[in-house]
Structures are given as C-alpha cells and as structure tokens.
C-alpha cells in the first residue's frame, strides 16, 4: 500500500503537514512551509510528482459533510475529532452531558442545546457572545471550554485578552470558537471591536510581515471571567451578550471531563435528531429577551453606575478606617482619592460633581470655608490637612445606605 505523503503544494509553495505533540498527549496538526530542495534531499526527485497540488487555500466549515478539497482548493478548516453515532439517542444515554449543560445554562438549558446544535449544524450562523462569569472557584467554566475543544478540535482556540487587543489575528481569524479566559476589557473600543466581530461575516487577516487580506469570518466568542461586575464595558441597550453566572459544582468528580468526552459521539447524534426549541428571531438567532439574565442586568447596572459605585466604595473604605461620622469633600478631593485607589480612571471633576449634586442631591457650602481635607498616600492610608473650599458634607449613614443599594 502506497504511503500517504505528508506534503502538499499550494500555488507554487510547498508545505509539510506536521503533527505536533502536546502535554495532554494529543497532537495538533500544523502546516509548515517546506522547501522543494529539502523534500528532494530527504526523498528523491520523483517524489515531488506525487505531492498533491492545490490552486489555493479556502476555509469552509462543515461538521457533518466535511471535505478537505473543495474545487481544487485546500480547506484549512479541520474535520472534527468525533463523528455522531448512527443509532438514535435518548437523554438517558448522555447523563453526564445533560447534567453538565443544566449546570452551565440553568433554566436556559433548551436554549443552550439550541446554541450547541447551531454550532454543529450551522457553523457560519451568527451567535451571541457567550460569557461565563463567577467569583467562585470550581464552577466548571474551564471544563466547559475543554469539553468544547474536545468536540470541535483544531477549530477552537484559546487566546488571552492582550492577544485580542493585538492587531495580528492570524492565529484565531479562521476559527469557529475563540475562547478568551480571565477577561478584563476596561476600554470601550475593545467592546466595540468584539461586538463588530460577533456580527460581521468579513474580517481582515493580519500576519506579521504580510499584507492584510480580507477573509470570511464566522468566529464565535466565549468569554470567561472571575469578575462578575465589570469585566467588560457594555451599556443598557446591549443585545449581543449572553451572560451566565456559573455556580460552584455540587460535587467534584476527577473523571468528569473524561465522562463527557466518552459521550461526545452520542451527544452529537442527540443534537442532530433533536428539534430546535427556539425559532430564529434575530440575526443572532435568539431574541434579546430570551437570553437576558440577571448577570447581564447586574453588569449593565454596574457599568452605568461605575463612578458612583467607585465613590461609594472609596467613602465606605474611609469610614471603615476612621471614626468620623462625616467627611467634607470638594469634587477634586474625591477625584484625587479615586485616582490613588483605582489607578486608571477616565472620570472628571465635573462627573464627580454631577453625582454629588444631581444623583445624591447634596448641596455644597454657599461660601468657601476651612475644612479638613483627606487624601490617600501611596501606601493606601488616608491622611489629612487643612484646606478651603465650598465643600459637600457626606455622612457615614448616607454612605452605608448607598453601599447596600449599590454594592450588594
């Protein structure tokens, strides 16, 4: 039997298909440029004639009817590692999978199964940005990502937040799933880019030392964060994020991922045979009301009240550290302490004044008077000196009430 060649020629360039071993014991397939001379040296001149030749690359996802060659183009999208079983499957045959998806999606389990079915059967369809958040440990967020990786194989990648900020995107631009772990995007422009990519079907492929190239884009983003309150900047009209608060797993099973992996072929058959529980209501399939969660509402509220939230946290810390029943401040005092306590801030003195006057209904002194001014030193301790200004008096009880409203 003739040995399969590990080389291909695309256009006029030769590549070698290399299986790179990983710590997990798995292997990843990489396409590496290989010179014609090296191939001849390692084999012989006749060997070159048996190497498959393609006109170019394409990236066309199809999980159930996969083709490596499409009209003499080499498909860089990869075949998924597991194929569905042939026999019909009942829920009872995939207990670990159903239990795990119920844990991740909660009451939205049917929508979660629809999400998985779309990934499998309609990989180019636009889907919401799925966000898994929890302050707690051992919630299964990482297990969910690993399980998706087992299902979709080389068509899923993990990137860090700073990689997403980079202009170079060649390592994830042709992927079905892009998982970003430990997310903290504190700039609005990052959110805007994420929103754009989640709904576009085109993007510019950028690689170091190469010209930008327009490509089809069908990537779906999954964000994981330990920060439930402000891991990303979004506003109250946001409809592209599906945010799930993940609780800790009730029991710890060291073989749980292995159990999930064993059920993948039967789970894929279950998804194929299962009818959608929802109908397409938007370009992202789901209606915004369907995927609205308390976690989303909490994030929107915290974003909308970010400055107020930080001011309350600052003043709460002050009253915890001091016996004072009241503090007198001018807006600049608050701003100085915020900049010390939270490092980077994009607020202005006027923003602080608006909170004090318009939201808190506090009134400054009619004339400039002497008062004790507080600030924070570089070690994080409060210190005082005398100052003059039209200060706002703020009581401890007022801040305690606000902290109950905002911080809980």
Contact indicator for 329, 394 with CB cutoff of 8 Å: yes
Is 57 a residue whose pLDDT tops 50? yes
CB 154 within 8 A of CB 148: no
Last residue of a domain, one of 286, 302, 318: 302
Contact (Cβ atoms closer than 8 angstroms) between residue 137 and residue 43:
no
Verify that 39 and 161 share a domain, yes or no: no
Residue 78 placed within a domain: no
272, 302, 332 — which closes off a domain?
302
Examine residue 26 and state whether it is found in any structural domain, yes or no. yes
Q: Which of 302, 319, 338 is the last residue of a domain?
A: 302
Residue 380 class from Cβ within 10 Å (0-12 exposed, 13-18 middle, 19+ buried)?
Answer: exposed
Does a structural domain hold residue 403? yes
User: Are the C-beta atoms of 249 and 103 separated by less than 8 Å?
Assistant: yes
- Read off the pLDDT of residues 324-351 as tens digits, 9 standing for 90 and up: 999 999 999 999 999 888 866 668 899 8
Q: Is 179 contained in some domain?
A: yes
For residues 91 and 298, what is the distance between their CA atoms, to the nearest angstrom?
34
Cα 158 from Cα 225, distance rounded (Å)? 14
253 & 267 share domain: yes
* 117 shares its domain with 24: no
Q: State yes or no: pLDDT of 301 exceeds 80.
A: no
HSE toward the beta carbon, residue 333, CA cutoff 13 A: 26
> Is residue 191 in a domain?
yes
User: Are 278 and 333 in the same domain?
Assistant: no
Phi then psi for 124, rounded to 5 degrees? Answer: -90, -5
Both structure tokens of 382: 């409060």
Per the structure, the complete domain to which residue 380 belongs is given by 305-407
**Residues 220, 125 share a domain:** yes
Same domain flag for 381 and 360 = yes
Handedness of CA 376, 378, 381, 385 (dihedral sign): negative
Instruction: Please check whether residues 254 and 366 belong to one and the same domain.
Output: no
Q: Are residues 244 and 105 in the same domain?
A: yes
SS3 state of residue 26: coil
Instruction: Give all strands (DSSP E) within 169-255, no chain letters.
Output: 177-180, 202-205, 213-216, 220-225, 241-245
DSSP 279: -
> pTM for this one?
0.78
Same domain, 150 and 275: yes
| Domain count within the chain | 3
- Which tens digit of pLDDT belongs to each residue from 267-292? 999 999 999 999 999 999 999 999 99
Within 10 angstroms of residue 103's Cβ, the number of other Cβ atoms is 18
At 1 the pLDDT is 40
At 30, the pLDDT band (50, 70, 90 cuts) reads confident
Residue 128 — pLDDT band, cuts 50, 70, 90?
very high
Give the residue-averaged pLDDT of 96-111: 96
What share of the chain has pLDDT > 90, as a percent? 64
| Residue pLDDT, tens place only, 192-203 | 888 888 888 777
Q: What's the pLDDT tens digit per position in 5-26?
A: 899 999 999 999 998 887 766 6
Provide the CATH number for the domain around residue 275.
3.40.50
- Is residue 319, in this structure, part of any structural domain at all? yes
Answer yes or no: are the C-beta atoms of 322 and 164 closer than 8 Å.
Answer: no
Structure-model confidence comparison of residues 405 and 307, the more confident one? 307
66 belongs to a structural domain: no
- Looking at the structure, do residues 292 and 310 belong to the same domain, yes or no? no
Q: What mean pLDDT value characterizes the chain?
A: 88
Mean pLDDT, residues 147-165: 85
* 149 phi/psi in degrees, rounded to 5: -65, -40
Q: Are residues 116 and 37 in the same domain?
A: no
pLDDT (0 to 100) of residue 108: 97
Q: Are 279 and 397 part of one and the same domain? A: no
**Residue 178: inside a domain:** yes
């Amino acid at each position: 039997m003739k040995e399969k060649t590990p080389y291909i020629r695309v256009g006029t360039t030769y590549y070698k298909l290399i299986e790179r071993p990983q710590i997990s014991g798995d292997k990843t397939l990489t396409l590496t440029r290989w010179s014609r001379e090296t191939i001849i040296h390692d084999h012989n001149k006749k060997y070159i004639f048996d190497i498959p030749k393609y006109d170019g690359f394409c990236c066309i996802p199809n999980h159930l009817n996969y083709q490596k060659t499409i009209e003499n183009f080499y498909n860089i999208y990869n075949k998924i590692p597991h194929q569905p079983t042939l026999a019909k499957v009942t829920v009872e045959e995939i207990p670990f999978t159903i239990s795990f998806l119920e844990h991740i999606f909660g009451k939205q389990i049917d929508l979660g199964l629809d999400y998985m079915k779309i990934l499998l059967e309609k990989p180019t369809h636009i889907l919401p940005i799925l966000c898994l958040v929890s302050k707690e440990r051992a919630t299964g967020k990482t297990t969910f990502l690993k399980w998706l990786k087992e299902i979709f194989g080389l068509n899923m990648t993990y990137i860090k937040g700073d990689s997403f900020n980079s202009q170079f995107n060649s390592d994830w631009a042709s992927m079905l799933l892009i998982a970003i772990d430990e997310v903290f995007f504190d700039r609005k422009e990052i959110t805007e880019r994420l929103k754009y990519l989640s709904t576009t079907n085109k993007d510019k492929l950028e690689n170091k030392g190469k010209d930008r190239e327009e490509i089809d884009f069908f990537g779906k983003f999954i964000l994981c964060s330990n920060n439930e309150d402000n891991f990303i900047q979004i506003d109250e009209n946001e409809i592209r994020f599906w945010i799930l608060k993940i609780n800790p797993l009730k029991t710890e099973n060291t073989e749980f991922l292995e159990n999930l992996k064993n059920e993948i072929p039967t789970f894929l058959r279950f998804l194929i045979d299962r009818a959608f529980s929802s109908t397409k209501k938007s370009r992202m399939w789901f209606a915004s009301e369907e995927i609205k969660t308390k976690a989303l509402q909490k994030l929107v509220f915290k974003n909308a009240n970010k400055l107020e939230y930080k001011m309350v946290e600052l003043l709460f810390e002050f009253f915890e550290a001091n016996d004072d029943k009241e503090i007198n401040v001018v807006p600049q005092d608050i701003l100085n302490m915020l900049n010390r306590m939270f490092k980077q801030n994009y607020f202005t003195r006027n923003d602080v004044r608006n909170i004090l006057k318009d939201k808190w209904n506090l009134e400054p002194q009619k004339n400039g008077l002497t008062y004790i001014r507080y600030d924070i030193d570089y070690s994080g301790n409060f210190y005082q000196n005398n100052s003059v200004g039209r200060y706002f008096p703020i009581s401890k009880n007022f801040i305690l009430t606000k902290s109950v409203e905002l911080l809980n």
